[in-house]
Amino acid sequence: MLDVIYSRRSIRKYQQKPVEDEKLNEILRAAMYAPSAMNKQPWRFIVCKERNTLDEIQKIHPYSSMLKTAPCCIIVCGDTDIEYAQGSYIQDCAASVENLLLAAKSLGLGTCWLGIYPDKNRQEDFRKTFNMPENTKPFCAIALGYPNEEIATPNRFDKSKIHFEKW
Ligand SMILES: Cc1cc2nc3c(=O)[nH]c(=O)nc-3n(C[C@H](O)[C@H](O)[C@H](O)COP(=O)(O)O)c2cc1C
């Protein structure tokens, strides 16, 4: 588990190999096992595999060129009708996304988190392009596929960021 956490990297080059449905289901299952405020589980997912859709995303997201090679993209959204408090879908979706990234890594797949929230225009572009209802807020998109690059684990542990008892 710790090895998966440390070795996960954002992957921007992918093999031309589809993601098996069993793996995709397992990854989505892991995403749904995240903690959420009052256990509301407000996350929703749109799985995109068609080349047309992956190209459409690149038109509305400026930093998504890895979707030229990625065979799959999952759009993670939050349902504001059922979130516990206003805006809590953001934390719930973020927890879900981290589970998703780590599950993918543990199954040999690569991912890259593409931010949508907090850019309101980008959220609206995604909502309209994907016919989402008003109460469904696009949070981020995740490129997914078999990696075609290897990235070394950086050293990020920084004692100066830790305080004990009080600041
Ligand atoms: C909120 C958020 C938004 C991000 N948006 C993008 C993005 O639009 N395009 C991209 O290529 N990477 C994006 N990333 C990935 C980061 O660039 C990456 O996580 C960071 O550089 C650390 O690298 P690592 O994921 O390999 O550890 C995003 C990550 C987060 C958490």
Q: Tell which residue, 33, 57, 47, 42, has the closest CA to residue 136.
A: 42
Nearest CA to ligand 1 atom 3: 115
DSSP calls for 1-28? -HHHHHH--B---B-S-PPPHHHHHHHH
Residue 17 falls inside a structural domain: yes
| Residue span of the structural domain in which 109 resides | 12-149
Residue 124 falls inside a structural domain: yes
Residue 154 falls inside a structural domain: no
> What is the 124 CA–ligand 1 centroid distance (Å)?
21
Spatial distance between the Cα atoms of 143 and 153, rounded to a whole number of angstroms: 20
In this structure, what CATH number is given to the domain that contains residue 49?
3.40.109.10
pLDDT at 25: 98
| Residues of the chain scoring pLDDT < 50 | none
Instruction: List pLDDT tens digits, range 69-99.
Output: 999 999 999 999 999 999 999 999 999 999 9
Spatial distance between the Cα atoms of 73 and 14, rounded to a whole number of angstroms: 12
pLDDT at 77: 98
Residue 52 falls inside a structural domain: yes
72 with 20: CB under 8 angstroms?
no
> What is the 102 CA–ligand 1 centroid distance (Å)?
14
Atom of ligand 1 at shortest range from CA of 12: 11
pLDDT at 68: 98
Residue 47 falls inside a structural domain: yes
Q: Report yes or no on whether pTM surpasses 0.95.
A: yes
Q: Give the containing element (helix H, strand E) for 151.
A: none
Residue 3 falls inside a structural domain: no
Which of 113, 122, 155 maximizes ligand 1 atoms within 8 Å of its Cβ, making it the mutation to test the pocket?
113
Say how many domains are in the chain: 1
72 with 144: CB under 8 angstroms?
yes
Residue 159 falls inside a structural domain: no
Residue 94 falls inside a structural domain: yes
> What is the 52 CA–ligand 1 centroid distance (Å)?
24
pLDDT at 1: 87
